[in-house]
Structure 1
Amino acid sequence: MKIADLGDVKLHYRDDGDPAGAPVVFANSLGTDLRLWDQVLPLLPQGLRLIRYDKRGHGLSDCTPAPYSMGTLVRDVERLLDHLGVKECVFVGLSIGGMIAQGLAVKRLDLVRAVVLSNTAAKIGQPEMWADRIKAVNEGGIEALEGPILERWFSKPFRDTPEFQAWRNMLVRQPVEGYVGCCAAISGTDFYTPTSGLRLPLLGIAGSEDGSTPPDLVRETVDLVPGSKFHLIRKAGHLPCVEQPQEYAEILTNFLKEIGHV
């Protein structure tokens, strides 16, 4: 178990694979921790350096007082990568992790040579929606909204499997302060203009059953960057790396090969 002390926050991370390999960094979604990628990483090519972390307020990282800004979340991973001596990584971000990916790529192109924007967008939802969610969670805990959240996360067949319960437990066990802190960060983010200025290899991934960031929303953001690619994973909701890990790993592997990162 590894903790990076960044001064105002301590982040839990994992650094697997070949320490000398080409780095791939993974940032997970709102309400999940770094175990989100457990099924994908073993299916990726050998020789990569695979880094994942729990963002502020999630998993085993520090939970600082809410609200958070997107700039803070971007700065957290920026400092983590500097701490680990990472340069020119491929950054894979899902949902809020994809927003962090966009912000980091705009700010530090020395750290990021390509991005994978999975189930995310330059802007997600409206401030009023996020304000309502923050209010509901502050008053009733994450359990107050777990039904609608999990319906957006997973297709109906997956919600009938025994594995589904583990993901439900992961969601409701996240700290309320961390969850609403990150809700505030999403609410205040609109990356349409900065993301449209990016010029780097970019792959977009969407799930056909995603109720949080539908495929058209993901594609709209992906299309902001010239030359980007888009892949739709069928029979998957907001977390296709959980529902369809083999297809997810195959898409990611093909992208890494195309850009010469493997």
Structure 2
Amino acid sequence: MAHLQLADGVLNYQLEGPEHAPVLVLSNSLGTNLHMWDSQMPLWTEHFRVLRYDTRGHGDSLVTEGPYSIEQLGRDVLALLDALQIARAHFCGLSMGGLIGQWLGINAGERLQRLVVCNTAAKIGSPENWNPRIEMVLRDGAEAMRGLRDASIERWFTPAWSSEHADQVKRITDMLATTSPQGYAANCGAVRDADFRDQLGVISAPLLVISGEADAVTPPSGGLYIQEHVAGAEYTGFLAAHLSNVEVGEPFSRRVLDFLLAR
């Protein structure tokens, strides 16, 4: 693990893979940390210099006063690339990480080689969904985070998969239980306020959109909307709920790899 000193705190990151390989940046979902990508690492580090980081408010990264914005989180990524002297990189983000990827594609496309956004949408939910959650987390703190952990199992994974992979489910949902309540609420504000529906056409980087066919958080309709509004974008759906990279595993990893290696 390493840390980048930002103006207001440190950003935790991990850089793995061949030193001179193309860089692939991975961005975590709301309520997880960089270890949500652990199952992808053995394959992807064969081909890429993989840069994982804990989004502001998560893991071992800085927790600052919220609400945050997706622009703020996107600028954290650019600061990390600048500090590591990485001019251009591939980017793969899931859910909130997918919103960050959209912001980068719209506002910093020159820094991207190829872009993958997973289990996301150009707009996720509404203030009526997000505000009560933010209020609950700020009020009840760690107790609320433990409650969200238990509720997340059915949102993040299909019932059949979660019943057969209890250890994996616990590993991922424990990330949510240990996330800073202040950081989580601040990121909920960023997701609540993001809306890229009218800007998607600006994205020029080659784009792959991945959805989970059983994802109730960001249904396939949201992924298809992105694909339909970005010229040349590709779309893949997997039988999975919200954390398709965890649930699908190897086929997910291979699909992303094939896209990133395409000429």
**Common fold by TM > 0.5:** yes
Matching of residues 107-186 of structure 1 within 5 Å: 107-140=107-140, 141-160=144-163, 161-163=165-167, 164-186=169-191
Aligned partner of residue 12 in structure 1, secondary structure: strand
CA distance in 2, matches of 1:14, 1:154: 26
Aligned-residue offset at 1:147: 3.6
Structure 1 window deviating more from structure 2 (197-206 vs 133-142): it is 133-142
Aligned partner of residue 25 in structure 1, secondary structure: strand
Partner of 1:212: 217
Aligned-residue offset at 1:73: 0.7
In structure 2, what residue type is equivalent to 1:198? Answer: I
- Structure 1 position 34 matched with structure 2 position 38: no
- 1:109-144 CA-to-partner distances (Å, cap 9, x unmatched) read 221122101001111001121101111222332223
CA distance in 2, matches of 1:9, 1:104: 22
In structure 1, what residue type is equivalent to 2:159? Answer: K
Partner of 1:12: 12
In structure 1, what residue type is equivalent to 2:184? Answer: Y
Structure 1 window deviating more from structure 2 (244-253 vs 65-74): it is 65-74
- 1:169-194 CA-to-partner distances (Å, cap 9, x unmatched) read 11111000110000000111101122
CA distance in 2, matches of 1:9, 1:19: 27
What TM-score, normalized to structure 1? 0.94
What TM-score, normalized to structure 2? 0.94
CA distance in 2, matches of 1:146, 1:25: 26
Structure 1 window deviating more from structure 2 (92-101 vs 41-50): it is 41-50
In structure 2, what residue type is equivalent to 1:155? Answer: T
In structure 2, what residue type is equivalent to 1:60? Answer: D
Q: Output the aligned Cα RMSD.
A: 1.4
Structure 1 window deviating more from structure 2 (51-60 vs 142-151): it is 142-151
Unaligned runs of 5+ in 1: none
In structure 1, what residue type is equivalent to 2:43? Answer: L
Answer 1 or 2: which has greater helix percent: 2
- 1:41-90 CA-to-partner distances (Å, cap 9, x unmatched) read 21236241111100101001011122111221111111011111112211
CA distance in 2, matches of 1:144, 1:162: 18
Partner of 1:247: 251
In structure 2, what residue type is equivalent to 1:245? Answer: G
Partner of 2:231: 226
